[in-house]
Amino acid sequence: MIQEEFKLDNQLCFRLYTASRLLTQAYHPLLSEHGLTYPQYLVLLVLWEKDAQPVNDISKRLLLETNTVTPLLQRMEKEGILVRRKGEKDARQMIVSLTAKGRNLQKKLAEVPFIVGRSVLCDSVTPETTPELFRMLDDIIGKLSAPSTLS
């Protein structure tokens, strides 16, 4: 007989993975009609908050390695959504800025957070409970982002 701690339904990792995968799927039809992937949408969210950022800052904000973010940025540049240029003070630094097309996508995608947000609302996730859910998820993210978490 299997021990309780080895049952799939008792795994936090499985619940978080499944929720993340299904949430990403919810974004797919809304973003694909604009030729965007979910990771590209995340890059746009970062740049809509503050345009003209170094690649390293975008990577840190997304909790991703620069070698993961760089190919995303290259594809987005080819699609005319953003431009990359060398930094004025440090030529080794790449600065990423939105183009007019990238800024216009913000208007076109303005309803996306609300549409997806409504799809997540249920008995336990309500506008009132969302701040607490965010706090708990932020705690998990912070704990897992810290060095030597699995000791």
Q: Which pLDDT score, from 0 to 100, does residue 115 have?
A: 94
Decide if 47 is inside a domain.
Answer: yes
Kindly report, residue by residue over 44-89, the tens digit of the pLDDT. 999 999 999 999 999 999 999 999 999 999 999 999 999 999 988 8
* Domain-located, residue 15: no
Helix/strand/coil (H/E/C) assignment for every residue in the chain: CCCHHHCHHHCHHHHHHHHHHHHHHHHHHHHHCCCCCHHHHHHHHHHHHCCCEEHHHHHHHHCCCHHHHHHHHHHHHHCCCEEEEECCCCCCCEEEEECHHHHHHHHHCCCHHHHHHHHHCCCCCCCCCHHHHHHHHHHHHHHHHCCCCCC
Query: Is 46 inside any structural domain?
Result: yes
Flag whether 140 is in a domain: yes
Least confident of 15-19, 34-38, 91-95, 130-134: 91-95
Q: Note whether 87 and 124 are same-domain residues.
A: no
For residue 60, being part of any structural domain is answered with yes
Answer yes or no: do 126 and 95 share one domain. Answer: no
Residue range of the domain that includes 77: 36-99
Within-domain flag for 118: yes
Average pLDDT of every residue of the chain: 93
